[in-house]
Amino acid sequence: MGSYVKEKTSIFVAEIMKGYLDLPEPSGELSVSFGYQCSTINQDNSFLVKNEIEFSPEVQIQSSKMRMRSSSFSCLSGAALSANATLANTNICNGIIGEEILPGLDSPNSFRRLESSPSLARLDLLSLSSQGSMSTSGGSVSIENDLLESGRNLGKPMSAPTRIESSSFLNAMDVQMAGGAAGEDRVQAVCSEENGWLFCGVYDGFNGRDAADFLAGTLYENIGFYLHLLEWRTRKKYDSLESGSAGVDPIRTGFSRAKEGDSSDSEKDGAILPHSFDREFPSKSFRVGVLDCLSRALAQAESDFMSMIEQEMEDRPDLVSVGSCVLVVLLHGNDLYILNLGDSRAVLATGGIQEGSLVKAVQLTETHTVDNEIEYEKVMADHPDDPSPIFGGRVKGKLKLTRAFGVGYLKRKEMNDALMGILRVCNLCSPPYVYTHPFTKSHRVTENDQFVVLGSDGLFDFFSNDEIVQLVHLFIQDSPFGDPAKHLVEQLVLRAAENAGFSTEELMSIPAGRRRKYHDDVTVIVIILGNKQRTSTASTSL
């Protein structure tokens, strides 16, 4: 039976690779190509940072409080290739996003230390609304409640309650960041080995890169704010409980009772534990809280982006049509948190550990397009008085996506009215037609889970989930020192060239913009899970 399965696996992989192995390597350069190899943990609890990271090659990061734990991931790689021509950094947010924030965050060819949180400080200068920011001296209860209840139309979340020392999430003590732009796509990867977490964002922009730029400049900080607020609230409730106060809500705080028979000192006598500070055993309610933080952060970004458009659309009416898909993955301990809006995907590879066994592809995201029957029926049902909410295979004849960030002209009548002529949607009688409610999911990583592939829809225009998983799995087996994200982009170029009847050199010589006819912007991140140690290094060109 084992030999039969192995033979079938070999045939399947051979079919995937057929037609590619004899083709020349594609020419040109990737817009983004980075890699990260997790360090080993020394006995003195110090991390030795590898020299592929762009700062001093022997930086010692000390953490006396750190416990010896297995790593959430062993390595990752990212790659992005542009096909769309797009304008340079825009002047949205009075130029702060493009001229001040993004240059401090972008690092397209390697990871580097993130010294501070530039977007928090610089967006504080913006006047988005009449509401004030929160106090930094511990937080105002009334403002905090307003923040949690409204989730929108707020001032920028740049001044959270005092950040918890050694916070589990998005701690700024030791943070490495990489990412950049490829056409209208943007990609980010941020990690902290010290605290055992990894953040990845793929923002697939359309009708311009303004929305993707805005997400790259704000969403990570928004998420950090809401996560710190969750932990601050948890710590406050826990401290109140320890002092004898009652009325702690375990659903809102993330507390849960210790199981009977647990021998740890901190969990004796059924004490309520702040599982939010234990990345190995977070409570179910805390995991729900994390997903809620991701959703609130996206809602905050959407509200702020719409406010910006309102201020600037008189001079730039094109902004009302700009939008982006959103894919966010947060890996913390053994918990993988996913948020998606649009048609980018996260695909998990599981199984295939034992010889002869098959690797299985599991999609962790939803596809929010009119091709999804559930999405199609929702749009139709929400607009009973509109005779044609979807026609020509697109929402109001304009957009295949049913959920997206931005695209104000399909959400607000006044933004649609800002457009002229054929650009304006006729009979926008019951907006919004495109939604901003994301899909969220948490997944507990098991020993059978091997890697996760994140990709913009440009990747899935050419490969199925199964093909992608098999390509990466085979590549890792054959090239343990290689770069799987770069490999996927190479294979896409090879297939696109073959489909068009070109050599790869001919395809890559076509200027961006014209090349969009043959493939879309494509962004890929591959995360190798757990302790499956490899020695992948960063790559800088295709």
Quick check: 515 pLDDT over 90? yes
pLDDT tens for each residue of 444-496:
999 999 999 999 999 999 999 999 999 999 999 999 889 999 999 999 999 99
The answer to whether residue 441 sits within a structural domain is: yes
The answer to whether residue 405 sits within a structural domain is: yes
Asked whether the bond before 103 is cis by omega within 30 degrees of 0, the reply is no
Q: How confident is the model at residue 398 (pLDDT cuts 50, 70, 90)?
A: very high
pLDDT score recorded for residue 88: 52
pLDDT score recorded for residue 281: 52
The residue range of the domain holding 327 is 174-239+283-529
pLDDT score recorded for residue 18: 44
Question: What is the count of structural domains for the chain?
Answer: 1
The answer to whether residue 342 sits within a structural domain is: yes
pLDDT score recorded for residue 87: 63
pLDDT score recorded for residue 542: 35
Quick check: 63 pLDDT over 70? no
The answer to whether residue 331 sits within a structural domain is: yes
**Sequence-ordered list of residues with C-beta below 8 angstroms from that of 87, at least 6 positions apart, any chain:** 208, 209
Mean pLDDT along residues 159-165: 36
Task: Report pTM.
Answer: 0.79
pLDDT score recorded for residue 91: 67
Q: State the number of CA atoms in the 13 A half-sphere of 181 facing the CB.
A: 25
Q: Which residue has the tokens 């190509």?
A: 33
In angstroms, how far is CA 450 from the centroid of its own chain?
A: 19
Which CATH number goes with the domain that contains 228?
3.60.40.10
The answer to whether residue 269 sits within a structural domain is: no
Tokens representing 443 are 């997944």
Quick check: 394 pLDDT over 60? yes
> Rounded to an integer, what distance in angstroms lies between the CA atom of residue 247 and that of residue 253?
11
The answer to whether residue 519 sits within a structural domain is: yes
The answer to whether residue 260 sits within a structural domain is: no
pLDDT tens for each residue of 374-384:
999 999 999 99
Quick check: 183 pLDDT over 90? yes
User: Which tops the pLDDT comparison, 267 or 102?
Assistant: 102
pLDDT tens for each residue of 71-126:
688 899 999 999 998 765 456 777 788 888 888 889 999 998 876 544 443 344 33
The answer to whether residue 36 sits within a structural domain is: no
Strand, coil or helix: 179: strand
